[in-house]
Copies of this chain bind each other. A is one copy, B any other.
Amino acid sequence: MKLNIALLAGDGIGPEVINEAVKVSDAIAQKFGHEITWKPALTGAAAIDAVGEPYPDATHEVCKNADAVLFGAIGHPKYDNDPSAPVRPEQGLLKMRKALGLFANVRPTFTFPSLLDKSPLKRERIEGTDLVFLRELTGGIYFGEKGRKDNGDTAYDNCVYTRAEVQRLAKKGFELAMTRSKKLCCVDKANVLETSRLWRETVQAMEKDYPEVEVSYEFVDAVAMRLVQWPNSYDVLITENLFGDILTDEASVISGSMGLMPSASIGAEVSLFEPIHGSYPQATGLNIANPMATILSAAMMFENFGLMEEGKAMRDAVNKALEAGVVTEDLANGGKAYGTKEVGDWLAANV
């Protein structure tokens, strides 16, 4: 396969972890006879510094014409203390999601036996957890009309969803459930919100098309509780944009393996793959960042092209590295810590 991949390294440790993902992806490509052309482009604070915009048109062109986007991380402390700054890295993120139509954010939370003790939860609570959130990513209150009235004393944000948006996301959820344990949980606040009632009735109407999938409906506050109590009781969960923002982050810390969690944002034309960890500015340039989440995101990218063996080879290599203790300092547990580059080298040699 010939693959054109847009490479958005971003800020902080982004460039370092992206480098290792490129290294391991190239090793996979060579092993399986694919040809990857990487197309670097600017994003985040790096792009603001260079051209005054967090998601420049030139970057959009590169992404739009690529087969997929591999993304590092964005965010820089100089933008952190002023959420009303006229230009912020996050705006680039939102603009990119909308412009590329990345409507479904896929956020798995799973455990690695060797890392269970890193979880804040007791072992018996977290063992066996393997769930996936599908978060709607281009609608809801993130993109509704917002503004001020009454000389700035009243603020408003409008949350809007259409049936078609819900169907598009729910369809991915049902399909994913069919490949897993056939359990789907629709997370909403249908006892209060009209948008949630639209979500619920739309999903209910789709149940007949997937008779094998057992669907449950839970309120967002109840899910926020049960995620901490019995995370392994969930499989596939679908939800709207803001609930997804909160719940996927909550879910990410329960496993103890947050530094290893990949994600995908699926669009109709092009999809994007990125680690869920942030830009971790303090670690920039120190060769200590853990590249595994980015490498597992690249594995999701291969699998999204239907290259299942390639993805599996990458995931197997990560598991082997964890077992062999070839890990960065965040996972070293007092033992030997490898550098970002050395972990990448080892994985490239072992896929």
Of the residues B154, B193, B194, contact of A160 by C-beta under 8 Å: B154
Are the CB atoms of A153 and B163 closer together than 8 Å?
A: yes
Apart from A120-B122, A224-B246, 6 more pairs, CB < 8 Å: A83-B196, A90-B192, A121-B121, A221-B245, A225-B250, A228-B250
Interface residues of A in 149-163 (CB under 8 A from B): 150, 152-163
Query: CB-CB contacts of A241-273 with B at 8 A, as 1s and 0s?
Result: 011011101101110000000000000000000
Task: Give bound CA distance, A155 to B194, whole Å.
Answer: 6
> Which bracket fits the contact residues of A?
35 or more
Does A220 belong to the interface (CB within 8 Å)? yes
Task: Give bound CA distance, A43 to B250, whole Å.
Answer: 34
Does A84 belong to the interface (CB within 8 Å)? yes
Does A195 belong to the interface (CB within 8 Å)? yes
Does A78 belong to the interface (CB within 8 Å)? no
Binds B, one of A139-147, A176-184, A306-314: A139-147
Does A49 belong to the interface (CB within 8 Å)? no
Q: Residue on B with the closest CB to A220?
A: B246
Does A88 belong to the interface (CB within 8 Å)? yes
Are the CB atoms of A193 and B125 closer together than 8 Å?
A: no
Q: Residue on B with the closest CB to A89?
A: B191
A221 to chain B, nearest CB (A): 4
Residues of B within 8 A of A155 (CB): 160-161, 194-195, 197-198
Residues of B within 8 A of A225 (CB): 249-250, 252-253
Task: Give bound CA distance, A142 to B220, whole Å.
Answer: 14
Are the CB atoms of A159 and B156 closer together than 8 Å?
A: yes
Residues of B within 8 A of A164 (CB): 153
Task: Report the 9 A-B pairs with minimum CB-CB distance, sorted nearest first.
Answer: A83-B190, A155-B198, A221-B249, A224-B250, A146-B194, A153-B163, A155-B194, A155-B195, A225-B253
Does A189 belong to the interface (CB within 8 Å)? yes
Does A94 belong to the interface (CB within 8 Å)? yes
Residues of B within 8 A of A121 (CB): 120-122, 228
Does A201 belong to the interface (CB within 8 Å)? yes
Q: Residue on B with the closest CB to A254?
A: B228
Of the residues B156, B221, B247, contact of A194 by C-beta under 8 Å: B156
A207 to chain B, nearest CB (A): 13
Known pairs A141-B193, A193-B141; A120 contacts B228 (CB<8 A): yes
Does A51 belong to the interface (CB within 8 Å)? no
Query: CB-CB contacts of A284-320 with B at 8 A, as 1s and 0s?
Result: 0000000000000000000000000000000000000
Query: CB-CB contacts of A202-226 with B at 8 A, as 1s and 0s?
Result: 0000000000000000001110110
Does A333 belong to the interface (CB within 8 Å)? no
Residues of B within 8 A of A194 (CB): 146-148, 155-157
A105 to chain B, nearest CB (A): 13
Does A229 belong to the interface (CB within 8 Å)? yes
A103 to chain B, nearest CB (A): 16
Does A341 belong to the interface (CB within 8 Å)? no
Task: Give bound CA distance, A60 to B250, whole Å.
Answer: 38
Of the residues B94, B142, B195, contact of A157 by C-beta under 8 Å: B195
